[in-house]
Amino acid sequence: MVNLELYRVFYVVAKCGSLTKAAQELYISQPAVSQAIKQLENQLGVSLFNRTHKGMELSAAGGKLIYKKIADALSLVEEAENSLAELKTTAAGTIRIGATDSIFAHMLADKLAEFNEKYPAVRLELISSTSPYTVNQLKEGKCDVAFVNLPLQDDDVKFCGTVTHLTDVFVAGKKFLQLQGQEVPLQRLQEFPLLMIEENTVFRRALADFTQTLGIKLNPDIEVANWDFMTKLAIKGMGVGCIPREYVGEELANGELFEVDVTPPLPVRGVGLALAKNVQLSFAMKEFISMFTHF
């Protein structure tokens, strides 16, 4: 097995031409330097230096034959070490980010733009999918960081906390003005056409778990694949939609939709940040994550 330190000692002795000077540069004792040279010579079966009154000279049949190659090899090693060190102090490379379309649009857009302005050399690859699929992408090494709807559990990834909260509410357009300004029992919503996100989602599971504790089952009349389409249908009067308040702030503010005051209110959920387990984080990744949570 190659002992790189022995070759490093050989290189410094050859460069300095002296055991004493080499020991000073290497911060080790002179006997340790001498022992390292003897060990390398025994290992190679040749004499690497001629010991003269002037110091240490490379032998023609040994040291001179390998000096340049050893110098080049150590230079490559140093270059490799410097490259790794730069990863810890320089933002470069690619960060693959997984999230749903809505999380990208409503939660991450401003942060992504801020990070890009600060670190333009870092390429941001955005991978859009449902939260469960995004977690699978993370486990398979196909994305580096995931922003997912909570509650979501998976022992094979590392959840690093809640980035922001989501307040699920019921909203309606002008067609259902009779619901505005009054407390509406949750059970009564069964009397109205309901708009909901598709069934195989974190939201639907959380809603079902909550309503089940109340002995209520809310069956949607229309299921949609994304929140933006639901918002448009609710504005058109197609039904009462159940959606995070944070996703319809503009529509609530301009009066296109109003919030139905449901009792009891739905529990607050969250968006969490997840990472793959046992993965070394680059400087760029640490800087990106620090925008959302202390890490």
Position 257 scores a pLDDT of 97
Angle, to 10 degrees, between the axis of helix 30-44 and the axis of helix 19-26?
100
Residue 92 has pLDDT above 60, yes or no: yes
Position 242 scores a pLDDT of 96
Residue 16 has pLDDT above 80, yes or no: yes
Residue 85 has pLDDT above 70, yes or no: no
Instruction: Kindly state the percentage of the chain with pLDDT values over 70.
Output: 96
Model confidence pLDDT, tens digit, residues 138-163: 988 899 999 999 888 888 888 888 89
Categorize the per-residue pLDDT at 80 as very low, low, confident or very high, splitting at 50, 70 and 90: confident
Residue 261, phi then psi, degrees to nearest 5: -80, 90
Position 90 scores a pLDDT of 61
Model confidence pLDDT, tens digit, residues 173-200: 999 999 999 999 999 999 999 999 998 8
Instruction: Kindly state the percentage of the chain with pLDDT values over 90.
Output: 59
Residue 122 has pLDDT above 70, yes or no: yes
Residue 111 has pLDDT above 90, yes or no: yes
Categorize the per-residue pLDDT at 82 as very low, low, confident or very high, splitting at 50, 70 and 90: low
Position 124 scores a pLDDT of 93
Q: What is the mean pLDDT of the chain?
A: 90
Query: Which residues lie below 8 Å from residue 13, measured CB to CB, with a gap of 6+?
Result: 19, 22, 33, 37, 49, 56
Quote the pTM value. 0.64
Which of 121-125, 236-240, 284-288 has the highest mean predicted lDDT (pLDDT)?
A: 236-240
Q: Which amino acid belongs to residue 180?
A: Q
Model confidence pLDDT, tens digit, residues 218-231: 999 999 999 999 99
Position 295 scores a pLDDT of 43
Model confidence pLDDT, tens digit, residues 226-267: 999 999 999 999 999 999 999 999 999 999 999 999 999 999
Provide mean pLDDT across the span 48-72: 89
Categorize the per-residue pLDDT at 89 as very low, low, confident or very high, splitting at 50, 70 and 90: low
More confident call, 90 vs 293: 293
More confident call, 169 vs 93: 169
Residue 88 has pLDDT above 80, yes or no: no
